[in-house]
């Protein structure tokens, strides 16, 4: 049997009573993040229940980003994994004795599954996959765009375990009229004027893809409340807006979903680059979908000072939308010459791929180290940033500065 209400903020804060906090989940700890990055400096570090110190973007709803130093490895620890919610209040406790995942709409047999049902009636499935917010790095767009001014920490990679979404749909029996599957979580806006966060996927896409999960474990543990306890949708290779957290309802629709979060938000220009001339708007848009190739240098930190005459160990990660990373390269001369670096363990095409390199500075001075990755399709990052009005899917070649003294 599952442990009832093990994941609650109230327990974590040592308080009792369900409404003690209302929607004001104030983190107990705050200090400033020390960073040379102008986007991050001055932003506080906060510690929420079940999480370690993360960089605050907003507190209502909670939006927290992962410091770059965690991206020197393939698996992002649960406590350091970024958090993004759209509406406040967010769920702060779930009692597994009463929690049910409802499956309804255009199905033969509507279901109400307990956590025990999920764990015992379906085959287990596991996938290591990157969750990245479509707006990750939005704060770096120029001209600037509206929306959360994320630096680069709205991403993470975990080993997700649960059951296949298609097995659950097949158990309910998908009616032939059904075209889309709508996901809804326990978070509900405080005001009726704010649209509830819901996302949908095509039925055919789910039935074809054994990697799409209803996950109840992350890196071998229950999901942290803020990352979707007790269960979330995992769509490997796709931006995380589809990865609905704190799941409560799955509804099969006969007509395409037309809610705010699909019709108005999370859309990109309908062309091959997903971009437009900076400052202009696209004439046609489509829902955002696959992750683009990205790579980062996590170690040393940007603006690090290193002594002359020693090799510097560079480390970071690369990822794409599911083709897999085939090569990562660095340059210390503004991209004239590129050098191939060593890749770490392959954890599957949806995971972060670690990379590392030793770099020995030829002489004292200020250096810019660039990193770029290629996937198995030959796709890479762009030398100059691509622009779109919502600030989505940034994937420019990344760089850090190193001062050799
Ligand atoms: N229930 C619920 N699920 C949600 C959201 C939300 O606001 N509510 N936001 C989505 C978006 S846009 C992102 S980027 C991811 C963030 O996942 P994380 O908080 O576990 O990092 O959750 C997705 N799932
Ligand atoms: Mo997101």
Per-residue pLDDT of 267-305, as tens digits, reads 999 999 999 999 999 999 999 999 999 999 999 999 999
Is the bond preceding 89 in cis, omega lying within 30 degrees of 0? yes
Q: Which residue would you say has higher pLDDT here, 269 or 261?
A: 269
pLDDT, tens digit, 9 for 90 and up, residues 333-356: 999 999 999 999 999 999 999 999
Is 80 exceeded by the pLDDT of residue 217? yes
Reported confidence tier of residue 366, pLDDT bands at 50, 70, 90: very high
Q: What is the CATH number of the domain that holds 360?
A: 2.60.40.650
Instruction: Give the ligand whose atoms come closest to the C-alpha of residue 241.
Output: 1
Evaluate whether residue 90 is within a structural domain.
Answer: no
From the centroid of its chain, how far is CA 6? 24
Q: Strand pairing partners for 183?
A: 199, 250
Regarding whether 227 and 362 lie in a shared domain, the answer is: no
**Enclosing domain of residue 349:** 294-404
Is 60 exceeded by the pLDDT of residue 198? yes
Regarding whether 118 and 38 lie in a shared domain, the answer is: no
Q: Give pLDDT, residue 16.
A: 32
Q: Where does 33-78 show beta strands of DSSP type E?
A: 44-47, 53-58, 63-65
The domain boundary, picked from 252, 285, 318, lies at 285
Is 90 exceeded by the pLDDT of residue 120? yes
Regarding whether 351 and 239 lie in a shared domain, the answer is: no
Nearest to 235 by CA among 245, 243, 224: 243
Regarding whether 322 and 267 lie in a shared domain, the answer is: no
pLDDT, tens digit, 9 for 90 and up, residues 71-80: 999 999 999 9
Pocket test of ligand 1: the residue of 50, 214, 245, 394 to mutate, having most ligand atoms within 8 Å of its CB, is 245
Q: Give pLDDT, residue 28.
A: 55
Pocket test of ligand 1: the residue of 243, 250, 261 to mutate, having most ligand atoms within 8 Å of its CB, is 243
């Amino acid at each position: 049997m599952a442990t009832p209400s093990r994941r609650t903020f109230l327990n974590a804060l040592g308080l009792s009573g369900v409404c003690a906090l209302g929607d004001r989940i104030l983190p107990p700890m705050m200090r400033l993040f020390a960073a040379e990055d102008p986007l991050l400096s001055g932003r506080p570090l906060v510690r929420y229940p079940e999480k370690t110190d993360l960089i605050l973007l907003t507190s209502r709803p909670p939006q927290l980003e992962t410091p770059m130093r965690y991206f020197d490895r393939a698996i992002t620890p649960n406590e350091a994994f970024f958090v993004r919610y759209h509406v406040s209040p967010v769920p702060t406790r779930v009692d597994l004795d009463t929690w049910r995942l409802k499956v309804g709409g255009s199905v033969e047999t509507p279901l109400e599954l307990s956590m025990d049902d999920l764990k015992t009636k379906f085959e287990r499935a596991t996938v290591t996959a990157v969750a990245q917010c479509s707006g990750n790095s939005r704060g770096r767009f120029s001209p600037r765009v509206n929306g959360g001014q994320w630096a680069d920490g709205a991403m993470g990679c975990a080993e997700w375990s649960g059951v296949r979404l298609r097995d659950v749909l097949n158990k309910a029996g998908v009616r032939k009229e059904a075209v889309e599957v709508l996901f809804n979580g326990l978070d509900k806006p405080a005001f009726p004027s704010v649209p509830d966060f819901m996302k949908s996927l095509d039925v055919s896409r789910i039935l074809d893809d054994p990697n799409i999960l209803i996950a109840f474990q992350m890196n071998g543990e229950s999901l942290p409340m803020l990352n979707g306890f007790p269960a979330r949708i995992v769509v490997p290779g796709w931006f995380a807006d589809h990865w609905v957290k704190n799941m409560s309802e799955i509804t099969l629709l006969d007509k395409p979903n037309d809610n705010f979060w699909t019709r108005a938000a999370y859309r990109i220009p309908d062309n091959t680059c997903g971009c437009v001339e900076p400052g202009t708007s696209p004439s046609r848009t489509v829902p955002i979908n696959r992750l683009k190739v990205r790579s980062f240098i996590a170690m040393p930190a940007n603006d690090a000072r290193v002594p002359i005459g020693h090799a510097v160990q560079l480390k970071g990660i690369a990822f794409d939308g599911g083709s897999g990373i085939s090569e990562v390269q660095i340059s210390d001369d503004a991209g004239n010459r590129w050098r191939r670096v060593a890749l770490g363990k392959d954890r599957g095409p949806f995971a972060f791929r670690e990379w590392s390199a030793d770099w020995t500075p030829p002489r004292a001075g200020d250096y810019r180290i660039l990193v770029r990755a290629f996937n198995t399709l030959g796709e890479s990052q762009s030398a100059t940033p691509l622009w779109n009005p919502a600030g989505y899917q940034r994937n420019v070649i990344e760089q850090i500065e190193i001062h050799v003294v």
